[in-house]
Every structure is written in C-alpha cells, then in structure tokens.
Structure 1
Amino acid sequence: MLVALTIATAVAALVLAAWCGFAAYRDQPTKDWHFIGMAVVTFLAAVQLIVGIVRLVRGDKPEQGTTIFVSYLVGSFACIPAAGFMSLAERTRWGSVTVAAGGVVLAVLQVRLYDIWGG
C-alpha cells in the first residue's frame, strides 16, 4: 500500500470529522459544503481501493491475508457514503454527528489497513 495515500485519507477523514463535529456543536445539520468534503474523502478512499486491488493483481500479498485486506478496503470505501446517506435521513445536528463519527471510523480503518498490509 502507499503509505502517503493512507495518511492522506486518514487526515482528510479526521478533518471532515472535526468540521462536521463543529457543525454539530453549533446545532447545524450537514450542508452542501459538508457533502463536498465527503466527496473528497470518498475519492481518496476510492483511489486507495483501486491501488489496493492493483497491488493484489500484480502479485503483492498483505501480511495478514487477502480476504481481510479486501474487506477493509471495501469497508473504507463505503464508510463515508453510508454516513452521508444517514445524515440525509436525519436533517438535524445528529446528521452532522453521524458524519463526524464516520470520519473517525474511516481514520481507524486506515490504521488497520496499514497494519494488515504489513506496515
């Protein structure tokens, strides 16, 4: 895995979490700007998914197993879109809290992906 991409995705997820957490603190739902931030983080996760699959196809093997690695890659990719969808269903401050929690979960998944790959 590319360490720089993993770090960039984790940092972007934490920035999104802080931004949406601040919106929740101010009693605001997610707004269009938050969804743009979610799109950026989702793009980074999609790039990571593609890079991970390409590395597997080229013959590189994760240290802790391919199945768990692919599962974490797919979970990382789906984390923020799922939180964004749930925030659309809950148009209160709790929608912002949901996206903030999704950002923290994505950052933790990035650390776990790094460990699974053998970092």
Structure 2
Amino acid sequence: MLDALTIATAVAALVLAAWCGFAAYRDQPTKDWHFLAMAVVSLLAAVQLVVGIVQLGRGEKPEQGTTIFVAYLIGAFACVPAAGFMSLGERTRWGSVTVAAGGVVLAVLEVRLYDIWGG
C-alpha cells in the first residue's frame, strides 16, 4: 500500500471527525460543508481501494491475507458514506455525532489496513 495515501486518508478522516464533533458540541446537524468534506474523504478512500486492488492484481500480497485485506478495503470505502446517509435521517446533533464516529472508525480502519499489508 502507499503509506502516504493511508496517512492522508486517516488524517482527513480525523479532521472530519473533529469538525463534525465540534458541530455536535454546538448542537448543529450536518450541513452542506460537512457533506463536501465527506466527499473528499470518500474520494481518498476510493483511491485507496483502487490502488489496493491494482496492487493485488500485480501479484503483491498482504502479509495477513488477501481476503481480510479486501474486506477492510471495502469497509474503509463504505464507512464515511454510510455515516453520511445515516446523518441525513437524523437531522439533529446526533447526525453530526454519527459522522464524527464514522471518521474515527475510518481512521482506525486505515491503521488496521497498514498492519494487514505489512507495515
């Protein structure tokens, strides 16, 4: 995996989590700017998904197994969009909390992907 991409995705996810956590602290729901930030984080996760699949296609193998690596890649890709859709259903501060939690989960998944690959 590309270490820089993994770090960038994790940092962007944590920034999103902090921003949405601050919005929740201020008793605000997710707003358009939050969704724009979610799109950027999701784009980074999508790039990581493509890079991971390309590396597997080249014959490179993760240390802890291909199946678990692909499962974590898909989970990382789906994490923030799922939280975003759930926040649309909850237009209170708890929608912001949901996205903040999704950002933290994505950052943890990035660390785990790094470990699975052999970092």
TM-score normalised by L of structure 2 = 1.00
1:15 aligns with 2:15: yes
Aligned letter for 1:89? G
Matched with 2:57 is: 57
- Name 2:109's counterpart in structure 1: 109
Distance 1:88 1:113 in 2: 28
> 1:32 deviation in Å?
0.1
Show the 5 A alignment for 1:23-102: 23-102=23-102
Q: Cα distance, 1:11 vs. partner?
A: 0.0
Q: Which runs of 4+ in 1 moved over 3 A?
A: none
C-alpha displacement of 1:81? 0.3
Shift of 1:64: 0.1
Kindly tell me the number of residue pairs found equivalent between the two proteins. Answer: 119
Superimposed CA distance per residue, residues 73-106 of structure 1 (whole angstroms, 9 cap, x where no aligned partner): 0000000000000000000000000000000000
Deviations 1:17-65 (A, max 9, x none): 0000000000000000000000000000000000000000000000000
Alpha-carbon distance in structure 1 between the residues aligned to 2:82 and 2:46: 14
* Separation (CA, whole Å) in 2 of partners of 1:10 and 1:111: 8
Percent identity for Structure 1 against Structure 2 = 87
Q: What's the TM-score once normalised by structure 1's chain length?
A: 1.00
Q: CA RMSD in A?
A: 0.1
Q: What amino acid sits opposite 2:44 in the alignment?
A: L
